[in-house]
Structures are given as C-alpha cells and as structure tokens.
Structure 1
C-alpha cells in the first residue's frame, strides 16, 4: 500500500495508438481501447490525452504531471488488480467483529430474502438505473416505488406517502419544516419528545437553528396532565412510537393534546410495530416519519436505508421529495410517473420547500419487495415473534424493567451494574445498549433467537428464560384495520413468483446494463462488479452504526483511508463522509461556512451569490442554511459574468458570506476566470463553495481545493462509481480547507466527531457502500483516474463534434472545447418544425436509448454526458440515433409528416403498435424499427412498455398508491 513505490503507467497518452500498459482494471473500466481512442482523438483534433488536457483545461488551474502522475494523486496507493483489491477488502472486513446486535435506536437485524438480495441489490438491472424522469422506460421501478408508497401509507394509517427519504432523521427534519409551511399557527417553537432517538433530535436541532425555529424538549406522556406539553405557543410536536427507551404509548392522547393547542403533530413510527398497534394516522396525526431499514435492508454501519414520510391528504402538495403517481398513456393504458413537485428545486430554486434531489430508491424497492414477499400475515408474525422475545427478556428481568408497555426494546434499571452487564453480554456475542451507569436497553428484532434471549438473561444474572409469570407484559396488539390488501402484497409469496415478478419489472426499464445513459450532470458510469461485491459481506453489511469502536476497526480504517484519498484528489485538507446525498453535502458545506463566519464575529454575513445557471439545489440549500440568495448573471457563452459578480460583491460588502459555483460549469465548460472569481470573493471576506457535481472532469486534472475552493461536496454516486440505484443511494461527502475543519459534521453518539452540526442519522452516513468508492480508487490508481477523466472529456468532445452539424452545441470554452458534457440546442428547430425536446427524448426510447438531461440548465436543450465507460461503438450508436432523429425532424419541417402526427410526437412505440389498426402517416416499421437503429444486433431492441404518458392527467387525478384491482380489469 506504499505510495512511494513506482506507479505503473497508464495508457500512454503521449501517443494515441500506443500499446495500453495500464492496470488491468483501468482497461476494463475505460470504454475506448487504444485504437478507438486514436479515432476519437483524430475527430476532435488532438494527438493525445495529454494534449487534450493542455488545450481544454485552463492552465491556471491544471495540476502539474510527472511520469503520468499528477501532483494531486501522488499520495494515492499503487493500483491493485481486482483480485488484490478484494483481498484487501477482505482483510479490512476481517478486522470487524459482527456480534448479535441488540442495540436498537433505529437500527435492527433483519434477514434479506435471498431472492431479493440476488435479484435487486446485486442485480445491475436495478442498481444501475437512473431516476425515473423518463417514465415510459422506467415503469418497473415506478411500480416498485408505488408499492413502497402503498406499504408506508397502509402501515402508518396515512393517506399519502412519498417514494422514500434519505434516512429517518432527515425525514423527521423534513416533517419539522413541512408542518411549519402548512400550519396557520404563527409560532416558530417546536416541541420535541425527550424520548426521540438522539441522532434524530440532533439532525432536527441542526436544521432548526438557521431557520430560526426554537426547539423545546419535553417529556411527553399520555398519563401526564396535558401529556406533558410545555406552556406557551408552539406550531408543532414531534414524538416517536416506540420511543428511544422502548416505551410504547397510545398516540391518540398525544395527537388530541397537540391539536387542542393549535399545533400539528408528526409521529416517528416503527413500521414493524405498526403491524400490531393502532397507527397514528388512524387517530388523526398530521405526519408520520421513520425508516424502513428493518424490512430486509442490512444495518450496514448506518446506511443506506430508505426513510419515509407520510401525510394526510390535505398535506399532499407539501410533501418534499418524490411522489409516484398513476396516470395513463396515449392509448389510455394505466401508467406510472413522478408527480407534482418532481425536481421542484430546479423550478422554485430559493423558494423550494426542500433541497432534496435524491431519495433511497434501491433500498425502498428492497423494503417494498420484502413486504410483498412476506405479506401482511408474514410481517405480523415477525412482529409478534420480535415482541414475544422482548417479553421473555422482560419476564426474566422482573421488577428491573422500567416500562410496562413496549414493542421490541426493554429498558432495565440496574443500579451501578450497567457496564458490567453490557460487557458480560459482549463476552457472549451480543451487543446491548449502555444507556447510563444504571440502565441497559435490549432491542429484539427479526434475527433474535432463543439463544440470544438466554445470553442476555445470563448477562443480567437472570438464568433461564422467563415465561411471562414474573412481569405482566401489557397487551399491545390493538390494531383492527387491514393493511397491505393489494394483490402486490399477496401474489409473490413463493420464490418462483417473486423471481418472475422482479424480472418482469426490470424488463420494463432501461438501465446501464442495456444502454448508455447519456445524462448531463449525472455521470452514469460503470459500477464494476468487483466494487459492488463486498457491500453484501456480513462483516460490512451487519454492523450496527453504534457498535463498539473495537468491533468496527476495519470499516473505520476504510473510512479513514478513503477520506485521505478524497482529500488528496480534491486538494482539500479534511473530508467528512457523513452527508448521505449531494444535497446534504451542499447543506453541510454551507453550514460550515455559516459557523465559520459566526465564530469570527461576522454574524451579518448572510448573502450567498449563485450564478443563474446553477443547479437548483444550490439555492435551496443556501436558504436552508440561513442565507439569502443573490443571483449573478451569466454571459451568452455560459460563463459567470465577472462584471456582475464584482458589482454584487461591492453592493453587499461585508454581508457577503459565500458564492456557490459549479465547476466545470453547469453549461459544460471550463471557465478560465475561475481563479479570479474565487480571489474576488475571498478579497471581500467571503468563502467559495465549489459544487462537485461535475468532478468527473477534474480528477487527476485539477484540484478545487487548490485553485480557490474552500469547500466542495463530492457526489460519490457520480464520479466515484457508487450506483444511482434508480434515484438513490447517493453519498455526498464534503472536503474543506483547514479553517473550516472545526465545523465539519459531528454526531451525538460518535465522540470522535464531536457533537455539532449533525446532518445524517449515522455518524458516517451510508457507510456500507463506501467500499465501492474505495475499491474504484484502489483499482484505478493515479494514472487510471487521470485517464478516466480525460477519456470522459474526449468522448464529450467527440459527441459534440459529430453532432455539431445537426444540432448546435450551445456552449464551448476557449478553442471550442467542452468539458465532460455538451449542451445540444433544439430551440430553433422547435420554432421551425414544432418538434420539441420532449419529442426527441421520447423518440430516443424507440432507438433503445435513455434520453439526455432535458431542458437543464437551458429550456429546450439536451445536455449529454457520455462518461469514460462507453466505448466507441456505443458513442457512435448514440450519435447515429441523434442524426437519424434530425432527419425525421427535417421531414416534419418539410411537411412530409404533420406536426401532431409523426414518429417523434407518437413516440415511444410499444409492441402493441405492431398489431391492430394503424392510421398514422408514418409506417409501423418507421415507428418501431427506425432507420438509425443499429442493424448489427450489437444492441438489442428495447421495447418501451407504455406509450407517452399524460402527466397533466396524473396531476389532476392524483393517485399515489396501488390502484384498486378494478383498474386492471381491461
């Protein structure tokens, strides 16, 4: 692992046609081989990748390169083969000790059914899919997410649930702001139950402070007068059932008391407990939040897990995040799509209700399929068994039990003996929760066995399993309503049925396993099997995030090494891996800037300058961090207008807190003035946030922490190979310069991090997927990473050159170069022919391609990012399809096809278009086998399963759970 030994050379970039001598993995990751690279470079007019770097990347930011290794990557270890990398990860995994976890606090052991693990979590058809913004080729994952929404709504007793949240704590924080938006109560005080999970409370407190929300912690108890609510006004209440202590209470008195005080109430509900107890929605709660982790998703040292948020009907349009709805297609068939606020932060920017841009789709699908596989009876049986084993422990402990009513967690009072009991249990292979010197908590779950019960009781000195005679365990099973009644939760109980269901759903989608996904600003690259394999190893997957540090030495070493590598790559001094999405990284970085100014006595600094072209989450994040957004104009070429920037800096003076700049720009170019922009902001006392969404154009080429950035978030699900999973998981760590390091995220249960600014439920965020990025960096090494970046830039310029005669490339940098992506301008074509960017996007599905990013950052355009993973044949197939589509547009423009009836407006076309009546001016063959479709058989024909979906109909007739069986009658 030494970084001082010679580094094997990458593909010799001094000669395009040279023999590739790079590590084997880099050859497998980077699509174009030496011959293909030579052809690409010939088209774009350079002789080598090094020459491309010299001509495309501004010299004022470029890293010096010696012996194929740029300065920023010299500290990285030598690249390893795939076999060696797995051996290294096995070494780290073996340093973890996996005990039976009975710690609880929102993280529980669970059995992932093998058919779901193999066919969802380990299946690239699911984990390489993108967010379903093109619903006609995303019907499988949309149906799975609709199942998730139905599951959550049914179990919580609410009307509507969204398509998942980042984790339980951030779901609670979103509930806090949702209630503030929805209430007519003018107070900004929020009551938080003292029995809330500590990590959830920490995230709420972090989110509340910049927004001016006062948190009042209270001991809520239905047995108390007024249930313990404090005097004075407050707009909302957040409580949890069961609580962190395991106490289980009736939600009805809490809800009634809150409403009597003109406050709304959000309840954190354990969904497994909800199979037995009356859900809060049935007694009038306004919001429910929580996690679906215990529905088949491993603990994974903290994540990723799908949080949830559900509301009453009146609050539907206040829901943050994504909402899957039912609509119909052009033929009147039922079809699914994202509804209402989808990507609202791009539209509303600083007025957005949330900065969330991702969800936890892959994990939500696993949880939904877990519920389908077990069905309501199976879930109820798991819940009863969990409660029974907790009851046996309580029976054995007798009068030591603190709460008479509980679901899975028993709190025992053990004066002065808690530490010894926890150690005794550890010796028996079980981790308990040390609450304090006098209390121990024991959490049971699906995996708890009779032997575990015996071990726990022995640790307490209560040998023998209780039979219920010593302590009366309160009857908790009082739910009378049905749930999960839809056939989706009854028809797939056998492995055969589930296997075929999962296959039928994935066949309805286009993911990276079938096609290039050329999405600008999203970087859909290869997620290698070797990178993915370790995440299901028990030594990583089965770790509780609050397990003793001695038992998690391997994952902690991996986290430490990865943070060091990412710091070296980006040029920053410190990295935090806690943010579990890019949006959370943005937020954490801006909070660090805010706290830095406050620490310096500059409380007045609250202005954040954001270019007009910026990603919509930037503005939303700035507002969430307590800043005011001021927009900076862009020039016609897409660059930041430095004159307007200077004017805005002068106007706001010592109120300037920060600027947020995406680099390379959202327009896909390297702005040469970036160092001047950073210097101007610094001279005015502000800080520079460099958005890392486009870091795939910088790794091994330039380092934001060295050319002016103070903080950046890094999208590990873009640049560093963590898969998108249909719209999540993501990881958005932040890198900072040393002066911001004291303000990195902390955690109340991780003393090594401090306890300030908690942004995610787990100390290290979605830790179980960090081995993916670790493996990628380790296998690529310094030369491989640089080669990947420059190959991506070369491919983007190749597409721009090939398509420039057919679609204008909207923005280029000096010399006509683009960075890792290019924007194709269709606006004039639309004016001339009536063919829209939507028509082109839908028509690409007939050619077997996912569409590029539509109308961002400029309406009426397509933003194309090929990534380094695609070989020349795939690049050419995409270009050929786009050229063929241009020919179709010309036929519309020439009047050969009417504007309202042509292959583009009719796209996409399904197999049903091959039969029945046909009354269109274009032929069936032109519809389903267009002329630009490759005929070699190298790319199999992909068939969309629905025609174009009527989005407006879906919003007018909002249905966000599984439709009744009658809907399928025809």
Structure 2
C-alpha cells in the first residue's frame, strides 16, 4: 500500500512537468528515432560538451503539484501586511477595472504575445499602444510620444541621455536635478550619469540657471506635493541652450496645465495609477514625450500609422532602425525596453473612463486632499506648502508619535525627512479614510466632521492649484476615448483588438533566442492576489515579509541554477541586467585601482544588445571575429586579448552561441580573458539550453543576466514586461545595485540603483518562483533536454529542404537553428521577408528574421511545443519551399505569387477583383491543417517606408473614421 501511495504521489508531483513539456513519451520516442539515437541522454552526450556538463544535479528540490505550490505561496503571501498606503512618491493605490483585470492582465491573448515586429498580426496591441501614445500627447502637451518605457526613474535617465544628444550647450557636461524630484529618480539618474561621465548637480529648482548644464529635471507636482509654476524655470534652462525635462504625475495632468504648454522639452512619468497595481514596485509603464524635432533621439518604440498594400490604414513600429539590436553601439540607449502589457492596461483604463471619467477621478482625489488640508489647518497643523494636487506634507515635532499611531491603525505615511511626513491620497481613498486620518493625526475627540469640512471646501472653493496652472484645454477627444464606457462596449472593444493579434494561445511562436514557451496558468494566478499586488515598494520591510521569503527562495534557487554566488533581482529587463552586470564589472576594476580597464571584447555573432549595453557603460568595444562555422575565432580572440590586455575589462559572450551551437572552446575563452585580467560576461538569453545541464558559473563566467521572461516563464506581454536579474561570482557581489530608499542586503551602500524600485518588477517574480517550484530539479533539467530534442528534430526535418547554417559537435544544434534562405533568394528573388509574411497565412508568427545573419530565419521551438505542432510548422515551411520552387520554375512570376502578396486578409481574398496566378482558397488555406484553426491577419503587407516618411504617432483624426 505504501509503495502504491508513494508511486501515486510521485506521479502527481511529476504532473506539472508532464503538462509543461509538450511532447508525449511516444512523440519523444518518434523524434529520437528520427535522430537515430536511443535515448535523450545519448542526444545530450552528442550535443553538449562533456567538459561543461554539471557533475551534480540541481538542488532546488522536488517538483510540487500546482495545488501544493499555490497553497504554500498563499501562506507566504499572507505574511505580507497590506496597509493603506499614503506614501505616494510615484506609487499609488488604484482601482483596476475588473473588465481590464480579467480580460487583459489575466488573459493569455494579451500576455503571451511577442513584440510587434510582425505588425500584420499585431494590429490589436498596436492600436492600444497608439491609444497610449495619444493619451500621453494629450496630457503632456507635446508632439511625439513613445509606446512606454520601463519606469519613471529610468525614463528620467533616458531624458538625460536625450538632453545630451540634442542640447546645443555642447561644452556642458552637467545635468541638473531639482532636490524635490523623487528620491529614487535622483538615484537612478545619478547611476546612469556616472557611467556616461556626466556631472550631476542636485539643488533647489530655482538654482538650475546658475550652472553650466546641458539639461535639467523638475518634478511636477514635487515629491512633497507642491504645485509650482515652472514656466520661468524652464525658460531659464532653455536660455542656456539646455533641455528642460519634467517628471509629471499622470493623474494630476487631468487638472494641471500640460508641462508642454509651460515650455517643457521632455515630459515623462509613470502611468501606474491608471489602473495598474503597485505590485511592490512593478511592472509599470512609463510615458515619455518630446518635441518633433527630437524624434531621432526619442528613446523606446514608437507606434506609427502607415498604409498596407491595399491602401488601408495600418499600424507598425516606426523608425525601427533606431533600435539597439540594429544600431548596436550607436543606439540611443539599450535600456529603453517597453512595458507593453502595462501600457495597454493604462490605455484601456483611459478608454474605459474617458476624459470626463478621468477628470472626475482626479477631481475627487484633489477634493479629498483639500478636505484633509482644511481639517488639519483648522486644528493648527502646519502644512509645508499652500498648493497641492494629492499630497500634503505636514511639518511636525510629533512626527514619530503620529506615524506610530498610523502604523498601529494599518496606515503608512511617507517619512523621508526629519520633522516632516507626507500623505498622498488616491483613487481608492474614501470619506471614512479621511476621518481615520484625522483620528490618527489629531487623536481621538478632535471634533472634526468630514461632511462639514467638505461642505465648507465646496462653498469656499479651492486655491490649492494656482489659477494660472488650472488646465483649460480638452483632452482625449478621439472617439476611442469616448465610445466604450459601458462594460459591454468595453468588453467587445478589448476582444476586437485581441482577435487581431497572434499569441501563444493560438500557435507556436518560434522566435530564435526569445524562448516563447508555456506561461502556465498556475504560475500567473498569484500576481493578482492583493497580498502581492497592493504593496507599496517603500513600505516598511516588516510589512513585506512574504515578499522577502519568496524573493529569498527565488534568489537561492537562481544561485543554484546559475552556479553563481549571489543574484540581484532589481533589473527590470534583460537590457537592464546587461547594464547592471557591466556596472558591477566596472566598479570591481575601480575597487582594485584598475579604472583604466574599459575595453569590452564582443564576438561578431553577439546580440545587438551587447554592444549597446557596453556603450551605455562607456566601454570601448573591440569586435572579435567568428570562423566559418560560427564559433569565436580563437586566434583572433587571443590576438585581440593580448593587444588590449592592459585595458581589458571584459568579454560579452552568449552561450550557447547566438548561432545555436555549444562552442567547444568556451572554457578556454574564459581562461584567456581571466589571464589578461578581464571578466567574463555571459549573456543569459540562451539559458533555456543550460538549466540543469550546465551553468554559467560552472563554465567559468563571472556574471550573467537571466531573462526571466524567457527561460523562467514570465510572459512577454506583447513586448514587456521583462525581468533581467544578474547572477555574479562572490567578488562581484558587493557591486550589484542598491537603492536609496530601501537598502538591498549584500551590496555596498554607495551603489546606485538601476531601476525605480529595489526589487524591480517584484509583482511578477511569483511566476518564475512557481515555475521553478513546480518543475523542481528534475523538471528543470528535463525542460532543457526537451528543448534540445525539439530543436534537433526540427533541424533534422528542415535540413531535408533547406540548408542549416551552423551546427556543433556531431552535427547537432543546441536549442535553436538557423535556416539559410539566401540560396533560394538568389534563385527566385523571394526574400526572407516574403517567407515571414507567408507564414502568417499558415497561422504562424515568423521566426527571428535576418538575425544574426541577414537572409536567414532563426527558429527555436522550446520544450513546450508538442511534436504535432512542430510537424505543423515543418509542413508550413516545406509548403512554402514548394511555392518558391514554382517561382523558380516560372509557373508563378516574381510579381504574382502568394509569397509577395502575403499575408492575405479576408477582405483581400473575398474582394471583387482577383488577378492572381493562384486561387483564392489556396491563398488562405494552403494546407488542410490551416482550415482547422485559421488565423486571419487584419491588414495586408504594410508599407514601412511610407510610415517613416509620413510619421504619425497618434490616433488618426476623427475625419478618417467618418470616411
């Protein structure tokens, strides 16, 4: 009986592993047979060099069932104390509309989509992002907006970078920050400035004009709540040919004059309080707007309006040539990753409430601040300022007593300065809350009536927003913000946009180096639990005990998985992780008196983000050649390491390589760099081919970033959020990011922050925690092994029809392969773009196109896809090969074939005119499998050139809707 029970328990514990890994045992057997190996282990032996295979298994524990995992995590979450938060400082409680919570945040149709590089199958999220940009432009009063950045603080750092690029004060090397800017923003901007060699001057806002600067940053309203007319400050900065940047509260902009109208060159901020939970710091979307003249220097992605082949309006990512993976070390930035899912939530929040609804929310918040202020002043309480939107700062010699009473009542105030505390009211504040605040501050028996004070405020009016700063222009006039205010209409609008997008809940997304795998529902559930969603990132640590337990366990597991000694979870994107890792290397060298070590070796095969990150860390980049097999050219590496030996800082290398190969010389590469005093930075993009089989630390590297949004199952969210923690060896641990508000244990106090919150996007860490818990040591290794099996099977089958560009030992690949389309292109004129667009007709997202080699497709099936889905993809590729052969044979001309007209929409196929060399049915249903699950692109091929030449980054005018 006991043996039977044990077997049953074992089967239950392995149940999640079985559900995460796509192929069934029978399918695995079939694939191994095709590969002519007898077992998974035999394939691993043939593929992964023995010298780097782990000698001991992982020790993250046995796999747990979904029920066990969620039950335990709920008990951990319950240790968090969800106090009423009046801390403010850029983070506010908000009411997430349930129609958005359920149908966007909790909907795989929205959270499993990839970055919209293939716009024909991303029109839904592109429209939502266009709404976000339009909202940003209306509220900021500027000309051009991006589709979101990581958080307010990193957006401010991007503003500094833009200011340096475009300012005409070319000799200036200082950036001014007003001392009433949020503390965490000063921290992050200072960290960025240090890497660029800029001087940071922090002082009274009015002193900006007294310095030789290229730019300045002001907060509007200030961190302590004051509403100040900064028109003259902006003009003063601009009189010095410097750029005036303003960090603004998005909700206040419903009532306050737009900073652009005050003259600001750049306006940025967080969209968090537009319906996105605080989540202990993130993820949240930042907004960023600037003048049209600076569009080439605008950080981040821009959604623009273009035309498709039939002349219809169609959306796309505009000016993609600015992006870091294309411009490499010439990129504007490598930290400007988007937060698409959260930007979409904020945009839908604005669509749902509309301009009047948003203004009502803002007015209610402001009225509660007025009521609280009136009551406090009536009792002789001193306020620091006479103006405010939502935040009051109290000057008090009894601060400690008041804040102690607040804590006892489950309430948090901001207490950053001696003799002062601040209270920020929010959308969630009620009259009962105001009454409670009076009790806390004044003590029992104060005699104040909220209703009576409210009546007085209403009768006497409010002067807490200066008359000159009251907003008097209309905002959000576009129909999208004025049409969907009932839940029925909103639900249908969300669904209409969702249906335009291809996501993982429709078919395999086989993007090489992006690891688009299962984001299990059980992993996603905890992120909306109030215990995780509703904590302020600056709450006292004893209120975040559950977060600390969960983060601590995740930290220890990632240490074990990576073979490093410590991990920082602060970086909130892979690019941020690269940046933080390079800063750690730089600070390490400086601590040893080697500040001159500034050369970064980067193989020519590297991700484009690598040279962009090295440039962000002010390193000099030296490119190392690769040989004809795609491996690092060892003779060239040795020569260049020797040449720059005295100044060598590090090498940035991806493993397995970007070419999808386990390079045999990786240990030797590490040794060469170490011999010359350098550090090894291993890009963690391809960790899905390492976990449980090898590890960066075991191989010999010193630091890596991990893409939790790839290997560890946090979904891509249509282009964000991501989490990019860094793992380091012990000698680099002291140099990981810290935080000026909440100290991060284990790092030097002087270390600056790279993200606004101490633990970055903490709210989505439970996803990776749950993945590791439910997979356990055994499951994590199986996932890597099955990723290798799937990739090699796919490679084997495709190699019968296409050349495969690179292979490793025994003719095997790692977790991905590169299909070379150049020979077919030369014979037929059909391009890799044509193949990518035609795959949409077959119901697939294109693989990674023309990277790392132009004219190729890089394909990664991951472990989550079944053999059936992989076979369906192979069938599509083989069918497309047949279509290309018809062009080569002359049956179809290069001008008239299904590839150059792809993708085909319903309107295209059902139109009155059809002069194609192929029939309509074949256009839409090229193989029988497509008919079972047809995905229809909603626009035909988009004209990229038209979109860049006619840049429009806001919702088209109402007239186009009337037409």
For the aligned pair, the TM-score class normalised by the smaller chain equals over 0.9
CA separation in 2, counterparts of 1:62 and 1:855? Answer: 31
CA separation in 2, counterparts of 1:100 and 1:343? Answer: 43
In structure 2, relative to structure 1, the CA distance for the partners of 1:351 and 1:475 (3 Å cut) is closer
**Equivalent residue for 2:409?**
428
**Equivalent residue for 2:761?**
766
Per the TM alignment, residue 807 of structure 1 is displaced from its structure 2 partner at its CA by 1.1
**Equivalent residue for 2:464?**
474
Correspondences of 1:448-597 after superposition (within 5 Å): 448-461=429-442, 463=446, 464=448, 465=450, 466-467=453-454, 473-476=463-466, 478-597=470-589
**Equivalent residue for 1:713?**
705
Q: Secondary structure at the match of 1:565?
A: helix
2:203 to 196, 207, 218: 218
In structure 2, relative to structure 1, the CA distance for the partners of 1:148 and 1:73 (3 Å cut) is same
Q: Deviations over 1:497-519 (max 9, x none)?
A: 00000000010010000010000
Contact 2:149 2:336 (C-alpha < 8 Å) held by counterparts: no
Correspondences of 1:397-416 after superposition (within 5 Å): 397-398=376-377, 399-415=381-397
**Equivalent residue for 1:800?**
795
Correspondences of 1:105-504 after superposition (within 5 Å): 105-186=89-170, 187-220=172-205, 227-229=206-208, 231-341=210-320, 344-356=323-335, 358-398=337-377, 399-415=381-397, 417-461=398-442, 463=446, 464=448, 465=450, 466-467=453-454, 473-476=463-466, 478-504=470-496
Correspondences of 1:518-917 after superposition (within 5 Å): 518-753=510-745, 754-912=749-907, 913-917=909-913
Contact 2:321 2:327 (C-alpha < 8 Å) held by counterparts: no
Q: In terms of mean alpha carbon deviation, does 402-411 or 745-754 score higher?
A: 745-754
Q: Deviations over 1:441-485 (max 9, x none)?
A: 000110011121122222211632445679974234611111100
Per the TM alignment, residue 22 of structure 1 is displaced from its structure 2 partner at its CA by 6.5
Q: Secondary structure at the match of 1:644?
A: helix
Residue 919 in 1 paired to residue 915 in 2? yes
Per the TM alignment, residue 308 of structure 1 is displaced from its structure 2 partner at its CA by 1.3
Per the TM alignment, residue 230 of structure 1 is displaced from its structure 2 partner at its CA by 5.1
Contact 1:910 1:946 (C-alpha < 8 Å) held by counterparts: yes
CA separation in 2, counterparts of 1:486 and 1:342? Answer: 29
CA separation in 2, counterparts of 1:365 and 1:343? Answer: 23
Per the TM alignment, residue 21 of structure 1 is displaced from its structure 2 partner at its CA by 8.6
Gaps (5+ residues) in structure 2? none
CA separation in 2, counterparts of 1:755 and 1:413? Answer: 29
Q: Deviations over 1:594-623 (max 9, x none)?
A: 000000000110000000111111101111
TM-score, normalised to structure 1, is: 0.95
**Equivalent residue for 1:48?**
39
Contact 2:169 2:240 (C-alpha < 8 Å) held by counterparts: no
Per the TM alignment, residue 183 of structure 1 is displaced from its structure 2 partner at its CA by 1.1
Q: Secondary structure at the match of 2:315?
A: strand
Q: Secondary structure at the match of 2:421?
A: strand
CA separation in 2, counterparts of 1:414 and 1:438? Answer: 5
Q: Secondary structure at the match of 1:423?
A: helix
Gaps (5+ residues) in structure 1? 1-5, 12-19, 65-70, 221-226
CA separation in 1, counterparts of 2:620 and 2:7? Answer: 49
CA separation in 2, counterparts of 1:911 and 1:423? Answer: 65
Q: In terms of mean alpha carbon deviation, does 920-929 or 532-541 score higher?
A: 920-929
Q: In terms of mean alpha carbon deviation, does 236-245 or 435-444 score higher?
A: 435-444
CA separation in 2, counterparts of 1:634 and 1:7? Answer: 52
**Equivalent residue for 1:3?**
none
**Equivalent residue for 1:928?**
924
Contact 1:881 1:933 (C-alpha < 8 Å) held by counterparts: no
TM-score, normalised to structure 2, is: 0.96
Contact 1:419 1:434 (C-alpha < 8 Å) held by counterparts: no
CA separation in 2, counterparts of 1:576 and 1:228? Answer: 37
In structure 2, relative to structure 1, the CA distance for the partners of 1:251 and 1:933 (3 Å cut) is farther
Superposition RMSD on alpha carbons, in Å? 1.7
Q: Deviations over 1:923-952 (max 9, x none)?
A: 11221111x3416x6x41111110000000
Per the TM alignment, residue 155 of structure 1 is displaced from its structure 2 partner at its CA by 0.4
2:935 to 928, 931, 942: 942
CA separation in 1, counterparts of 2:962 and 2:409? Answer: 56
**Equivalences, count:** 940
Per the TM alignment, residue 626 of structure 1 is displaced from its structure 2 partner at its CA by 1.7
**Equivalent residue for 2:948?**
955
CA separation in 1, counterparts of 2:173 and 2:660? Answer: 42
Q: In terms of mean alpha carbon deviation, does 354-363 or 89-98 score higher?
A: 354-363
Residue 61 in 1 paired to residue 52 in 2? yes
Q: Deviations over 1:837-877 (max 9, x none)?
A: 00000000000000100000000000000010101110000
Correspondences of 1:73-84 after superposition (within 5 Å): 73-74=58-59, 76-84=60-68
Per the TM alignment, residue 44 of structure 1 is displaced from its structure 2 partner at its CA by 1.6
Per the TM alignment, residue 154 of structure 1 is displaced from its structure 2 partner at its CA by 0.6
Contact 2:299 2:333 (C-alpha < 8 Å) held by counterparts: yes
After superposing on structure 2, the runs of 4+ consecutive aligned residues of structure 1 that deviate more than 4 Å are 6-11, 466-473
CA separation in 1, counterparts of 2:910 and 2:643? Answer: 64
CA separation in 2, counterparts of 1:370 and 1:614? Answer: 39
Q: Secondary structure at the match of 2:693?
A: coil
Contact 2:322 2:331 (C-alpha < 8 Å) held by counterparts: no
Per the TM alignment, residue 750 of structure 1 is displaced from its structure 2 partner at its CA by 1.2
CA separation in 2, counterparts of 1:293 and 1:319? Answer: 21
Per the TM alignment, residue 561 of structure 1 is displaced from its structure 2 partner at its CA by 0.6
CA separation in 2, counterparts of 1:471 and 1:835? Answer: 69
Q: Secondary structure at the match of 2:388?
A: coil
Q: Deviations over 1:867-899 (max 9, x none)?
A: 101011100000000000000000001111111
Q: Deviations over 1:570-591 (max 9, x none)?
A: 0000000000000000000000
Contact 2:333 2:612 (C-alpha < 8 Å) held by counterparts: yes
CA separation in 2, counterparts of 1:610 and 1:765? Answer: 28
Q: Deviations over 1:489-542 (max 9, x none)?
A: 011100000000000001001000001000000000000000000100000000
Per the TM alignment, residue 268 of structure 1 is displaced from its structure 2 partner at its CA by 0.3
CA separation in 1, counterparts of 2:915 and 2:961? Answer: 27
